[in-house]
Amino acid sequence: MPKKKQNLARLVQEAKIYASIETKHQKLMANLEKNGIKLSDEPIEEIEKNLLANMQKLGMDLSKHSSVREMAEHYGLLVEKK
């Protein structure tokens, strides 16, 4: 029986943690909405691609920095130089 009680106690503790996280998440979302901040449901890949495309439109050389170049290559945004 002690092992079952330990397992039950562990499960209760985990449930309390998850409930606390959910409560904090709800408070954060309410606070963001109250302050007029709207979070996007758009996938992060689309956001990255749009950001890189906008940077390119504004004249940034995406091939100049290695990490930016890798992302731009991944999304097919780099124009190959001839």
| Residue 54, pLDDT score | 92
pLDDT (tens digit, 9 = 90+) per residue, 19-65? 999 999 899 888 888 888 777 667 888 888 999 999 989 988 888 88
pTM summary value: 0.47
**Any residues with CB less than 8 A from the CB of 62 and at least 6 apart, and which?**
52, 55, 56, 68, 69, 72, 77, 78
pLDDT > 80? residue 67: yes
Continuous segment of H or E residues that includes residue 62 = none
| Residue 81, pLDDT score | 54
| Residue 82, pLDDT score | 45
